[in-house]
Structure formats: structure tokens, C-alpha cells
Structure 1
Amino acid sequence: MHGPASPGWLLVALCAATGAYCLLRMRSPVEEQRRTAGGEALMGFGMAAMAIPAAVVTPPRWAWLVCTAVFGVAALRALGTARGTRHHLHHLMGTVAMVYMAAVMTAAPAHHVHGGTGVPVLTGALLLYFTGYVLRSGVRLLPLAVASGPVASGPPAGSVGWGDRPELSQACRLSMGIAMLAMLITL
């Protein structure tokens, strides 16, 4: 992506760390958790690769074509499962955004500038979607006030492993949503 190198490397690190955590989540005993974690790991590592600053490494055109193809297949797979939950629809939006960004970079990988003076419609729509997603995800991570008394310390009895904790999964999705916003803005 285009932009300063330092924030670009921070974005690479964030996306790679998120992808690595999602790989660890694939060890979950819950099948749906493993399947979701695999898709999120692909997104995390793909975003890390796409976020490498162009000033440091300018990938060849074929690399963007490979990204377009890989995320195109992932988008078709997500389309097949999107009938299910809202989360599957989010995976579809994420893969479509990745296909779009890779296709734009395929068209003009070194010096991309928009043809007009404004933001392209699809970029704007994706920015709106991911802004809403990030805000909604951030609110979902806020702790709820407990009116029934003091909070017990320590994990509850029979708690799940750290890889299956829903708040960690949500934090990963939030960080990938923020990263997607940053990537779309620099597009």
C-alpha cells in the first residue's frame, strides 16, 4: 500500500500478529471456531502482505494478480456461507475489499492515484462499512456494568481456553477492521 513506511510496518506487524493468533485459534475443539479462524488467518496474513510499504518493496504485477485470485476464491467461498450469520457476511465484505484493493494495485501498483478529485464509490462504500463495523465492534468490547454486586475475581469455573475466548476473537476482528480502514484510506 502507499503511505509512510513506519505506519506501514506497524500495520504489517498488527495484521501478522492477528493472523498468527487466528492460526492458534484453529486448534479449538469447536469446528465452527476452527473454520472461522482459518478464514481470519488468511485475511490477517493477506493484509500483512498487502500492507508492506511500497517504498520498501514494490511487488511485481503478478503478485497483485495472485492476491486478486486468492481472495476472489475466498470471496466465492464466503458467498456460499454468507446465508448463515452476520459474521459470515462480514467475511464476504472483507474478502471483497481485499479483491478490490488487489485489483486496484494490479491496475497501477507503483503510483496509484484516483482519476477524479473525489473518492471512488466502491472505496467510499467500503470505508463506510468498515467504519461502522469498527465502531460496532469497539462498543461490543466495552464491559457492561454489573448491577447485581461485586464481580468475582479469576476465570469462571469451566471456562474456555484462551484461544476460544470470544472477547479475544472480537479484539482480533476489531484490529483487522481498523487495519482494513487504514489500507482503504491509503488506496
Structure 2
Amino acid sequence: MVSSEWLLRLLPAFIAFAGAWWGTRWGFSKYKKEKFWDATLKSYSNVLTSIEIISFFGLADEHKRVLYQGEGGLTSDSAIFNAAIRELIAASYSQSLYFSLEFNGLVRDFIVKANVSSVINHDDLIGEDEDGIRSIIYRQSEKLKAVAFESLELLNVQAKKDIRGHGIREKMSCLKKIVWRR
């Protein structure tokens, strides 16, 4: 009799502890998933924004600098372009764990294609005046812009598949857990 009375007094404490432990565990796992999801969206956004900047500026002709008023003061189009290239290459390595294999492959393909399309043969520049050099750079810049626009379309489509697929998959897995427990 004494042991059952003792058990009845401890039972609410045990239930409260188990509920608190389960709630904390559930909340922390939800927090981790949300943080991972936020990082994933930011990674996709970084890559797409970098390629959009590349598609806008092309090779950023050094002979014709355009200045823009930004948060940190004046900046040139070549500085914006170079920052986008650096961001894209860094993201392709450091943030690749957030990407699907298809998206990561498309990013790597773009980097290779951009590298090929932006190469200027210096032998072509020999004997050219300033306008001729600007024309050669402009043609290469247009090639790079075309590659960037094409890749941007493919990457946008793949990003939508990955992002939408993730959201649906998460919701369906939660729904299955709820349904199958009953």
C-alpha cells in the first residue's frame, strides 16, 4: 500500500519530466531542421544571385568603368562582377552540401562553360587599337552573358524542383508519421 501511494506521488513528476524531455527534443530537432532549411535557401540564393550578376555585367569591360552607389560607397561594375565570380566559386565548394546533385552539377558545368567562354586569346589583341580591343572584349562578354542566361534558366528550374520537392517531402513524412502512429 505504501509503495503504490509513493508511486502515485512520483507518477506526475515522471510524466512531467518525460513530457518536458520529449518537448525539448522535438523543439530542438525542429529548430535544427529550420536552420538547415534557412541555410539551404541562402545557398541557392547566393548561387542564383551571383550568376544573375554575371549575366548582367558580362566581363565588365575594364576600359569603360561604370560607378554605382552602393551601401559602402561607390563601386565599379568590374568590382561587382569579380565579387560575383568569387562568391560563385566559393559557394560551389563551401555550400555544395546543401544542393541536390543535379543543381551542384549544373553549377559546376556553368563554371566550366564560363571559364571557356570568357577566355580571350591575347594573340588576337596584338595590333588592335583601343576600339578593336574593346570590340573583342565585348564579343567575349556577350558569349559569357549568353552562357550565364542559359545556365540561370536551368538553375532556376532545378532550384524550384529542389525547394518545392523538399517542402512537400517534409510535409508528407510528417503526415505519414501522424497517420501511421494511430
TM-score by length of 2: 0.34
Larger radius of gyration: 2
Which structure's residues are more often helix, by fraction?
2
